[in-house]
Amino acid sequence: MKKYIFLLSIAALSFTACEKEYLETTPENQVGTSTILGSADNAKMALNGICKAMTNQYLESQGMNGEDTILNWYGTFTGNDAQKCNQTGSAALWNSTYHLRKSSSYLYYPWFYYYKLVSNANAIICNIDAATGSESEKAFIKAQALTFRAYSFFRLAQLYSFRWKDTQGNAPGVVLRLDQSTGEFPLSTLAETYAQIYSDLDEAISLYQKSGLDRGSDEFYKPSIDVAYAIYAKAALTREDWQNAAKYAALARQGHALMTEDQYKDGFHTPNNEWIWGVYEASDQTLYYYSFYAYIGSNSSA
């Protein structure tokens, strides 16, 4: 998984193009983490790579398209207001039957996907403090990486653990991998999982405030302090921590006016001020019939 960042970030490196030294380059699989993440600029590219990872195809499967898969297969499709009349052959998918098969990729895809995000976020978190660059920029990048990690742990807990209501945090949670190690690691409890989510978000919010920086107006696909607030609110809600749920939901909504009537009728595919967070989309990097739009469109047979 570390290689994922390295390949995304290799373009950030500057090579000398003079005489024979031009050809004396280190193989990509031998470039160290300290080189790739040795500067804030390189770390920023690695962070961009995590953003793009949310809208990639995985496991050589048509529908495993990053975050969209989570929203569809484990969210909308299993809801009581979703239907797709021309997809009766996929009833087992819509009814979550596939998700319970031990040998099915439907079962382990979220685990694979979110730990890919965690692995990349950890590489930034563990190396950004020693990188070159301004302290404000490094604080902002670290805050974004912590936001990604907290979000991933939250989604994993939702999908692979029991409800808080049923166990009050005593059920098995997820693997809280907080560094770049790759060995086996035990499951935490659900209480420990939420404590780590809260801790990551507390640190992220503090770093966002310390940095004094924010994402660009058109960079809705990158984490920001509003995103950290929103994740905090959702995590607190599922943990039945009502006071924090209300507190952080209000903070997340500040500065995000509701969409206009015209924007509402536009089809929810164009970013507007009401959006707190989304995934990266570009007309020259579309997933075509692998995408969220193909799967959710009632006029599509994807």
Q: Average pLDDT, stretch 135-158?
A: 98
93, pLDDT greater than 90: no
pLDDT band at 99 (very low <50, low <70, confident <90, very high): confident
Q: Average pLDDT, stretch 141-147?
A: 98
pLDDT band at 80 (very low <50, low <70, confident <90, very high): confident
Q: Average pLDDT, stretch 27-55?
A: 83
270, pLDDT greater than 50: yes
d(C-alpha 115, C-alpha 153), whole Å: 9
115, pLDDT greater than 70: yes
pTM (whole model) above 0.85 = yes
- Using a pLDDT cut of 90, give the percent of the chain over it: 58
69, pLDDT greater than 90: no
Token output for 27: 């193989």
pLDDT band at 296 (very low <50, low <70, confident <90, very high): confident
